[in-house]
């Protein structure tokens, strides 16, 4: 019940396109859903996060869409750039408990 | 944003020796820090939760006597890999929450430490 399933495993998007990564969770007690961006050899960086009381949150080119009834949330990267090429992890937690991570999505934005 | 540092960024040690990795929250205080391990092209695996002033809580399957964690202050947690072996070679990453400054659930990660045991 602690699983967070992330898809796709890898994604290739052309420059300027929209990258979409999806996550599904099982534990209805989760109330915090962050996305992290990780470059090779670096630690994950918090990108954007959402709480279940809103259905969408936007920060610059990054948007989280949240569907509480379907227990799904997704990351949309608008106008994708080669510099966005990285591994993206979704995660979920209940309050201040530990984060449960998805398995990650390797995004490649082709020039 | 909140900054977490790690030292060293990479270390090579011989089998049987011990290695200490430091994790510091630079601009906030953290009563709780977390230690993760990450293998190539895999997700983060939580090893333990480090609580300031008390014993760490280890995840199932993590040897507490091998991976010693000390959270001596509100800005410093250390992970010591004792009697390291080649199978301990990995990328170790710490994270912290700004629990003292009214922060939310955000967890900030350090840059990671690459450990290679020869």
Mean of the pLDDT values across residues B96-109? 79
Burial of A75 (0-12, 13-18, 19+ CB in 10 A): buried
Q: According to the model, what pLDDT value does residue B103 have?
A: 60
Contacts of B99 in chain A (CB under 8 A): 96
What chain B residue is nearest to A38 in terms of C-alpha separation? B111
Chain A nearest-CA distance from B60, in A, is: 14
Show the tokens assigned to A72.
């799904």
For A13, residues 6+ apart whose C-beta sits below 8 A from its C-beta are A19, A77, A80, A107, A108, A109, A110
What are the CA-CA distances from residue A35 to residues A1, A14, A42, B54 (Å)? 20, 21, 15, 30
Q: According to the model, what pLDDT value does residue A94 have?
A: 92
Q: What is the pLDDT of residues A50-79, one digit of tens each?
A: 999 999 999 999 999 999 999 999 999 999
Q: Dihedral through CA A39, CA A41, CA A44, CA A48, nearest 10?
A: -10
Share of chain B above pLDDT 90, in %: 77
Mean of the pLDDT values across residues A86-103? 94
Q: What is the pLDDT of residues A14-37, one digit of tens each?
A: 999 999 999 999 999 999 999 999
Q: Using the structure block, give the residue that is written with the tokens 């480090």.
A: B50
Q: Indicate the residue of B43, B105, B106 with minimum beta-carbon distance to A104.
A: B43
What confidence tier does B34 reach under pLDDT thresholds 50, 70, 90?
Answer: very high
Q: According to the model, what pLDDT value does residue B100 have?
A: 66
Q: According to the model, what pLDDT value does residue A73 have?
A: 98
């Amino acid at each position: 019940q602690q699983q967070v399933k992330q898809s796709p495993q890898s994604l290739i998007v052309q420059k300027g396109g929209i990258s979409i990564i999806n996550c599904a969770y099982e534990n209805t007690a989760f109330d915090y859903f962050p996305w992290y961006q990780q470059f090779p050899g670096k630690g994950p960086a918090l990108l954007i996060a959402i709480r279940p009381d809103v259905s969408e949150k936007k920060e610059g080119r990054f948007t989280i869409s949240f569907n509480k009834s379907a227990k799904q949330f997704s990351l949309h990267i608008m106008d994708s750039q080669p510099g966005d090429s990285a591994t993206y992890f979704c995660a979920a937690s209940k309050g201040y408990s530990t984060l449960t991570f998805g398995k990650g999505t390797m995004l490649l934005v082709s020039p | 944003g909140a900054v977490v540092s790690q030292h060293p960024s990479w270390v090579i040690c011989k089998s049987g020796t011990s290695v200490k990795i430091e994790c510091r929250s630079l601009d906030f205080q953290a009563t709780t820090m977390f230690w993760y391990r990450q293998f190539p092209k895999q997700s983060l695996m939580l090893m333990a939760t480090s609580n300031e002033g008390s014993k760490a809580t280890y995840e199932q399957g993590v040897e507490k006597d091998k991976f010693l964690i000390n959270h001596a202050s509100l800005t410093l947690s250390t992970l010591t890999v004792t009697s390291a072996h080649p199978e301990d070679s990995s990328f170790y990453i710490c994270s912290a929450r700004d629990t003292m400054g009214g922060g939310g659930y955000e967890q900030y990660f350090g840059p990671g430490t690459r450990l290679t045991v020869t």
